[in-house]
Structures are given as structure tokens and as C-alpha cells.
Structure 1
Amino acid sequence: MTKWRPDAGQLRRPVYISLADQFTAAIKSGRLLHEEKLPGHRDLAYDLKVSIQTVSKAYDVLARRGLVSGEVGRGTYVTSTGPSLQSPYIAERLANVIDLSIVTPVCTSFHLNRMKDALHRLADTLPPAAVLSFRPNTIFPRHNEAAVTWLSTLGVSTSPQNLLVTNGASSAFTIALMSAAGPGTVLAAEEICYHVIRPLSDYLGMRVRAIAADGDGMLPEALEEACLRDKVRVLVLQPNLANPTTTLMPEARRLALAEMARKYDLTIIENDVFGPLITNRPRPIAALAPERTIYFTGFTKVAIPGLRIGYIAAPDHFAATIANRQLMANWMATPMIAELATLWLGDGTIGKLVDWQRETLRARHRIVADALHGAHYRAHPEALHVWLTLPPDHDELAFVSQARVRGVAVAPSMPFSLSGLPVGAVRVSVGATEADELRAGLDILASLLRAAPDRSVLTI
């Protein structure tokens, strides 16, 4: 039987849901392992000073979540495989499901035609080095120059020597993290953040500290408390339309965090994959603390998914390390896609795609405002997603399952929660489907919010 026990001081109403959430977090984090036996109902009830019925209901919730199984006379055992990269979105496109779980830009025949036209143009002008060269330094100098010009429109001042072209923003983040920190390093991130931060840090042997945040983003005083308690060395931030909370950090908060980073000598990794969509965006942190900020952005979220190219801009003392990490991990970005990105940066297509996306998202958010009128959610009119808060009496995983039964997929909060606990909210994409499907899916979610919660639905 496991030595791990729930904390009675952390129980909240409804108690059985809170208790189930503690067990869920322990299983997901690996503190409870596959085939470990859970405490007996009576013993746990005695330890926590709750009723046996409360423990039984909590174990029933765990069973519906697919985390445990029980047999009369044998006990209750963990059936989950434990910690892994939890994708908040469904892995494949399913028939008869309105998929609002994955954050992707709105795409139409307009985008496909632009891509077809660009490929025809590349066929006529393709440089031999893009196909025949095996050396990054013979391919990418002019791509770096085009990227530097693009980043300047986003408020980032850098040089071609301090810029690296990568295979998308996810690759850029991995390289940035490998360059900024080593095994054992403590990094700080918002308590609800990009779902890759925790598993990637675990794989790289780093430790993550969850920092409290409010409607403006990470709290500087909470960051300082973590720096005083632990030797924090890296600060990971997504100040523009954060995934999943849609937070747009005001400049005053950015300045305060930049000063805190200077005070405790932190390296900042700034994720700006959504930044180009914002019309009047505050200055990036890379402009406020350029001497310590590794900045990256890309095109898959703001222009077209197939344009999988990312850019990293870094201070002088990180430039060589980042280039070496890129060589070690990927050798170089895909030259053909880099050619396409540079072509579109040069002829203005990227700007047109971003402008189109921005206007389309504004129209999508008018649908959201109408369909979710009266619901509690956070959004921005130029964001690709909405952060929908559930009523207190709704169990998050049951809500997600009920939505799937009704034909709508949304992203639960747990993959984004550094604690591993659900926070009673779901991420809803506004760009992943057609406008009429979005409206239909939102209407279903709104009806579930209005209805009495039904916890008898099995987790899918």
C-alpha cells in the first residue's frame, strides 16, 4: 500500500471532488504508481475525518476518470500509467465531433491558394543551396536578415548573428530551454501555463516552480518569494495572449518582472507565438530586458499551420550556445520551408495573412460573446482561444466528458496546471473549425453550463 496520503488541510467543497483531485494529481505526477493500492475506505475516512461515503464517492470519481479500478475484497488500485505528456487536444480528427480542443488559426481556400501559388513561384526561383547544401551557414544568412526585419515590426531589435531559424516555435522553445539551463536548474512559470513546459523540463532534468498569477499575468512578489526560497535561474513567460488563459500582460507588469529578473539574475525565455495577432500590443519583454531575454516566435498560430518555421533572438552571450544546441538537436531548419517564409516576408504575404486572421478572429469572438452570454470566461478579440470557467458545482473532467458525448471536444485544464490539479476551467478554440460549427459547439457548451451537473458520465 502506498505511503502517500491526501492532505486533509487541502480539502474543499465538494469534499469528494477535492479528494479525487488530490489523488488524480498524485497519479499524474508519479507519486502514486501503476498497480499501487489505495488506502481502504474506512482507514482513509478516519485519517481525514470525513465520512466513508465521501471516500467511496471520491474513489468512484477516480474510476470514472479511468485512473483506478476496484474489486470487492481486494481493494482499489491505480490503473493509470502515471506521468506523461498530456495533450490537451484530441489526437486525431474524429467524425461527428466539433473539435474545439486544439488551438489553430482559421484556414480557408484563401490559405491553400496562397500556398499553391508560392510553391509554383519557388519551383521557378529555387536556389540550388536550398536542396543541395548540407551546411546551415551557406543557406540561412539571407533568411536571418529577412527574419530580423520581421522581428523589428514586433518590437524586437536583434542582428542576423543573434538570430536562429528553427523548425517552428516548439523546436525554438526546446532549444531555448536547453541553452538557458542545465539539469537541476530551477525554472519559474505561471501556475497555469503552456502544457509542454512541465514534461519538457522533466525530460531535461530541470525543476519547475509554479508562480501565482492574476488577470495581468505572473505576480512579481510571488516570483520574488520563489527566488528567495529556491535558486531560480530561468523565467518562462508568455505575455501575449497566454496559452491557455488568454492573458495580455500590461507593460507595467512586464517592467516589474524584468526588474525582478535583473535583481535575481534570471534568464527570461519569452514565448511570443501569438504576439503578431495583437493590434496594439505592449513592448515585448525582449525590448525591456534585452540583455537577458531569449525571445522566440513563429507562423503556425498566426498565419498558416504548414509554415512551420520559428525564430529565436538572443543576447550575444547566448548566441553561440543556441546555435550549437540547434546543430545537436536538429542540425538546421528545413531549407524549403525557410525559403517559403522568406519569400512571403519579402512580398508582404505574411502581413496579409496575419491581418486576415486578426479580422476573422474578431468576427469569431462576436459569435463567442453571443453564444456564451452570461458565462464566465476570459478572452481577447484577437485570440485563438477562450478560457471558460466552470460553475463551482461542475466537475471539470465530467464536463469535458459530457461535452464529448454531445459531440464537442474541449481542452481540460489539467495538462496546463503545474500542480496537476484541475482548476475548474476549459480551453475552447475559436479557430479550429467553421464558423457555423463553432456556434453549434458553443451552444452545446452553454447548455451544459446551464444544466445541473451530471457526474454519472464516464470519462472519455
Structure 2
Amino acid sequence: MTDWPPLKSSLKRPHYRSLMSAIETAINNGALKPGERLPTHRELSYQLGLSVQTVSRAYARLVEAGQIVGEVGRGSFVRRAEGDDPLPFPSQRVMRGTLDLALLRPVVGDIHKAAMKTALRSLARDMPEEFLASFRASTLVSRHTAIMDNWLSLCGIKNQDQVIIPTNGNTSAMTVALMSVARSGDLIVTEKMGHHTLPALCRSLGLRLAGLEMDEQGIIPAALDAACQADTVKALYIMPNTGVTANFMSEERRRVLVSVARRHEISIIENDGWGPLNMSAVPPLATLAPERCFYFTSLTKCLVPGLRVGFLVAPRQIATLVEERHMVTNWTATPLMLEIAALWIREGTALTLLEWQRNALMARGQIARNVLSDFDIKIAPSCLMAWLPCADIGSEARLVEGARNLNIHIAPGSTFSIGPLASKPGARISLGSKSPEELRRGLEILSGLLS
């Protein structure tokens, strides 16, 4: 269908879904331009002979899928910028008195401020020459190899024949990994509910992206196998420990996925952003398939947000290529951040902060279980977030909007959906609030909304 508006005879049941498809087609073929105003719900229902509720439902799902935007008092519009993906958290500064349970963050307390002050004083007293004079990544890496090995061992990465590159956090690492395995036009597959920045990054790199069917453990191996048979897949991007829906992948599932990846000769990009927060003994995919796996983690979510340091582990046979991609995007990790991270790991501060974070998040996870015990809530093994499933996209939108009206921000599940439609309606709730009392208050309000 290329005409806009569509003919009523072209719409099939269920009408709201057929109308959604017609609007998406019109956007994709240019019949509806970015920024163009759509007919009002009543206008379009009259034109097509549909109920206002049917049109409203189609519009609501398109808003949640990021295809259109609604502006109070003005109407509905096609998104102005192609690829302007909706964020799971408020893009603007939240108002005073608003409780932000949308932005995923660790707990931060006085212990972090004291640790940072101590580290900066220590560096001021005994500043390494390389900290000021080094202009090459290899110099910094060579000084900190043992320290990086030490931290990665906590994540289950054991001294294999791989290269380690320090990065400015996870975003830098995932960019380098994608650039190292794929070229423009290549296909990347990932979870159907996945990393919210991955679609925009893939578009920027000219890569195609497809979401695969999931169950309670994450990606279903048969879905990966089918995707590889239907098209030339270049890499699997996977979050086995940090899934949006609080899924956690067993060792058996990881081994089966590795077997599929080897059979089809595809690379694996493993995002373990929360690192050793989760104390599970399940091995990373990178230990099962070191010859094809790119693994990355950072200190941001497990220690403190301001420490933008990550580690990318890549197959040694393509080390030169990976180092080149990192150099052209970041050149090197920021020396000051890397020195603080190295100092904390070497002196044991990192382990102290890690254990403090685990305890703080476990306490908050228990609060969430108690307050929301009447609902089908899932808590991530690390306790960084909870997933609250909704019956459908309409109930998701009502919950998110209702919470916002009560000055609480939660992340709608539709912003994590890889594809044009929301695949698993629900809401992600960050548990890393400033205080347990603040979290309890917010969750009690959510419980009232759900009731």
C-alpha cells in the first residue's frame, strides 16, 4: 500500500494493527514526511469508517514504537528526524520532587565520595609520568595489564588468548566491537527486547539490525539458527546477564548458542555491562568461544557512574584491526579515569565498593519484592532493575503516563523493542535510587496504580 490515507477496503482485521501497518508504510515510502501532522483520531475514524477507539489504539502503539509523537493541544506528528529513537528515560532534566526510576544507575553514597577524594590525593602526591606524557594507548595498556586481568577474572574471564583494550565505558566498547566485525549493509541480530542505543548505533554504521524471539532465558537458539539460514548474519549481539526483562541465561543455553554461532561462522558481541555485580558462576560466552567473541564490561554500573572506564576483550587474531577501530573512534581511554580505576583495583578499594554496591542493591531488591509482591515482577540477579510486565501496549502506556502524572518516571518496555512494534509490553524500574525510603515510596505509589 503506497497511498495515504489508505482505503477502508485495504484494512484487514484486527483493524488497528492494519492501520498501524498502513501508517508505517506511508512513513517508509515518503507519503508521510517527517514532521507532518496526522489527521485527528476523529477525522481519520470518519474517513475510514472505523471507531475512534481503533484509531486511538493504532496511534498509541505507533507513539510507543517511536514512529510518531503526540503533542498536547496540537495533535500527532511523524517523528521529525529519522532514527530519533525514543529514550527509556527522560531526556530533559527531571523536575524537582520527581523520582526518577527510569534511568538505570547504581547506588551512590558517601563512601564513593570519600574513595574518589582519596584517589585524587594519592595521584596528586605520586603522579605517574605516563599519566601526563603518554600519547599512545599501548603505553597505558602495558602498565595496567595485570590489573585489567584481575578485574576481568571477577567477571569470569580467565587469561585466555585474547587482547584487552581499556575503553571509555561500554558505549565506546560496543562501537569498536561492531566496527570490527561488520561493514555497511551487514546484518546484526540481537534480543527482541534489547539495548536501547543499539538501533541508532547500527543505523549510524549502516548496519541492518533484527530482533530474535526470546523466552525467560533470552534468545532462543532455534531463532538464531533460523535467522542465519534466512540471511547472512554477521554477528550476534547479546546481553545474557543484563536483559531488559530481567532474564538470565543458563550455561546450557549459552553453550547451545555458541554451537549455532560456530556452525554458521558468525561473531558474538557479549555485553556484560554490570560485570561482577552478579555473583553467578555461569561462564561468559567469551570463555566458551574466545576465537569469535567480543566481550565488554565497565566499572560504571557496578562501582560509580562517574568512573567511565570499560574493558573490551577481543580475539587476538584480529587484535590489530580492533586496536585501529578504537584508535579512530577514541584514540585511547582517558588516562585520568584509567589511573583511578587501576589504583582502586590495585589497593582493594574496587572490591570494597563492589561488595557495598551488592549489599545496597540486594536490600533494594528485597524492598521491590515486598512492595510489589502481588504482581508478576522479575528482579535482575544483580538487583539493578526490576521488570514489570503489562497485559498489552495500552496498559503499558497508561502505567507509564499515570506514574509520570504522580512525578515518578519509569522506563516503558517499548523503548527497548528491536523492531517497529513493542514485543513485550511492560516497564523497567531502576532500583538504584538515592535512599531505600525514596525507593519504597515510589514503589508503593506504583503498586497503588497497578491495583
Same fold judged by TM-score > 0.5? Answer: yes
Query: Matches of residues 258-273 of structure 1 in structure 2 within 5 Å?
Result: 258-273=258-273
1:215 to 2:216 alignment: yes
Identity rate, percent: 33
**Structure 1 residue 238 corresponds to structure 2 residue 239:** yes
**Aligned equivalent of 2:117:** 116
1:282-321 maps to which residues of 2 (within 5 A)?
Answer: 282-321=282-321
- Cα offset, 1:216, TM superposition: 0.9
Q: Is the 8 A contact 1:98 1:409 kept in 2?
A: yes
Give secondary structure in 2 for the equivalent of 1:33.
coil
Q: Indicate the residue corresponding to 1:397 in structure 2.
A: 397
Taking the aligned partners of 1:414 and 1:23, their CA distance within structure 2 comes to: 20
Q: Aligned residue for 1:458?
A: none
Matched, 1:33 2:33: yes
Distance 1:398 1:189 in 2: 28
CA positional deviation for 1:59: 6.7
Q: CA deviation at 1:144?
A: 2.7
- Tell me the SS of whatever aligns to 2:242: coil
Partner of 2:79: 80
Question: Could you give the per-residue CA deviations for residues 378-429 of structure 1, whole angstroms, max 9, x where no partner exists?
Answer: 2135220111112448532232121111010001112210123233201100
1:448-459 mapped onto 2 (5 Å cutoff)? 448-450=449-451
Q: Deviations over 1:186-245 (max 9, x none)?
A: 011010001011110011000011100100110000111111111011000111132x11
Distance 1:381 1:239, change over 3 A: closer
The separation in 2 between residues aligned to 1:10 and 1:349, in whole angstroms, is: 60
Q: 1:301 to 1:28 in 2, by over 3 A?
A: farther
- Unaligned 5+ residue runs, structure 2? none
* C-alpha spacing 1:44/1:345, structure 2 compared with 1 (3 Å): farther
Partner of 1:139: 140
Q: Which residue of 2 aligns with 1:53?
A: 52
Q: Distance in 2 between matches of 1:239 and 1:429?
A: 18
Q: Quick one: distance in 2 between partners of 1:202 and 1:27?
A: 20
State yes or no: 1:105 paired with 2:132: no
- State whether residues 192 and 418 of structure 1, in contact with CA within 8 Å, keep that contact through their aligned partners in structure 2: yes
Q: Distance in 1 between matches of 2:361 and 2:338?
A: 27
The residue that corresponds to 2:373 in the other structure is 373
**More deviation in 202-211 or 87-96?**
87-96
**Change in CA separation of 1:336 and 1:302 when aligned onto 2, cut-off 3 Å:** same
Are 1:67 and 2:69 an aligned pair? yes
1:96 equivalent to 2:93? Answer no
1:457 corresponds in structure 2 to none
For 2:44, give the aligned amino acid: H
Kindly indicate whether the alpha-carbon contact (under 8 Å) linking 1:185 and 1:207 is maintained by their aligned counterparts in 2: yes
1:2 Cα shift?
5.9
Q: 1-side partners of 2:29 and 2:99: how far apart?
A: 33
Q: 1:61 to 1:329 in 2, by over 3 A?
A: closer
Report if the CA contact (8 A) 2:364-2:383 is conserved: no
SS at match of 1:446: helix
CA shift, 1:292, in A, is 0.5
CA–CA distance in 1 between the matches of 2:78 and 2:61? 10
Residue pair 2:210, 2:419 contacting (<8 A) in 1 also:
no
Change (3 A) 1:44 1:317: farther
For 2:445 and 2:72, how far apart are their aligned partners in 1? Answer: 34
Aligned residues of 2:275 and 2:298 also touching (Cα < 8 A): no
Counterpart of 1:52 in structure 2: which amino acid?
S
Contact 1:30 1:83 (8 Å CA) reproduced: no
How many residue pairs match? The answer is: 438
Q: CA deviation at 1:154?
A: 2.0
If the length of structure 1 is used for normalisation, what is the TM-score? 0.87
8 A contact 1:364–1:430 mirrored in 2:
yes
Residue 395 of structure 1 aligns to a residue whose secondary structure is: helix
TM-score, normalization: structure 2?
0.88
Question: Which residue matches 2:199?
Answer: 198
CA distance in 2, matches of 1:3, 1:433: 52
Q: Distance in 2 between matches of 1:78 and 1:245?
A: 30
CA RMSD of aligned residues (A): 3.0
Q: Return 5+ residue gaps in structure 1 as ranges.
A: 451-460
Cα drift, residue 55 of structure 1: 4.0
Would you say the 8 A contact 2:400–2:412 is kept in 1?
yes
Measured in 1, the distance between the counterparts of 2:362 and 2:124 equals 36
Note closer, same or farther for the CA distance 1:69–1:393 as it changes in structure 2 (3 Å cut): closer
Closer/same/farther in 2, CA of residues 128 and 399 from structure 1, 3 Å limit: same
Contact 2:12–2:18 (8 Å) recurs in 1: no
Give 3-state SS (helix, strand or coil) of 2:158's partner. Answer: coil
Could you tell me how far apart the structure 2 residues matched to 1:195 and 1:393 are?
A: 17
Q: Secondary structure at the match of 1:295?
A: strand
Q: Give how far 1:62 is off.
A: 7.6
Contact 1:145/1:160 (CA < 8 Å) preserved in 2?
A: no
2:356 alignment partner in structure 1: 356
- Matched-pair contact (CA < 8 Å) for 1:413–1:426: yes
